[in-house]
Amino acid sequence: MNLALQLLFYFNGQYSSRRFVTTHTTLSLLMPILAAVMVLEDNSSTAYLTLNLGLIIIAASLALLPLQLQNSARRSGNHAGWVLLSASVFLLLLSLLAWPLVILTLLIGWFSLNQQPKPSILFHVMRWILLLLSVGWCLYNLYHLWQLPLGS
């Protein structure tokens, strides 16, 4: 998922901002670090440890990719906000299969306004509909997650 987001952000011009690159790299490194802690805590054999640490090293190297992509970053186009909004809609559809993706949908949908040079009324309406659907889907799933420990 991170590699797909990196492609989206690179071709849409978000990597021209150094702050965005730093933030995305930092957030991307959280998962390999968490995975490394979990693997080191629960290792049953040397082969298991070697295989999983190798996969974690690959994930960490892919998470550091935006630091190299900023050297050849493209500029944002006139339709950068629309591209981010359509990617957010696609992620919302994918979140029907894996609901935690709705968090990415919310983040990309929220920050799509900053990337659109002249947002139209249609852009604002579509963005707010997407955000409301995403928040509703997230709250629905969090409610069901909350009900699991209660046994209902």
* Rounded mean pLDDT, 34-43: 89
User: How far is residue 10's CA from residue 72's CA, in Å, rounded to a whole number?
Assistant: 9
Report pLDDT for 31: 92
3-state DSSP of the chain: CHHHHHHHHHHHCHHHCHHHHHHHHHHHHHHHHHHHHHHHHCCCCHHHHHHHHHHHHHHHHHHCHHHHHHHHCCCCCCCHHHHHHHHHHHHHHHCCCCCCHHHHHHHHHHHHHHHCCCCCHHHHHHHHHHHHHHHHHHHHHHHHHHHHHHCC
Is there a contact between 70 and 21 (Cβ–Cβ < 8 Å)? yes
Average pLDDT, the chain: 88
- Per-residue pLDDT for 61 more than 90? yes
* Rounded mean pLDDT, 49-74: 89
Percent of the chain with pLDDT over 70: 98
- Per-residue pLDDT for 117 more than 60? yes
Highest mean pLDDT (candidates 1-5, 93-97, 116-120): 93-97
What pTM value is reported for the model? 0.76
Q: What is the pLDDT of residues 63-116, one digit of tens each?
A: 999 988 888 777 777 788 899 999 999 999 999 999 999 998 998 988 888 887
Does residue 18 or residue 78 have the better pLDDT? Answer: 18
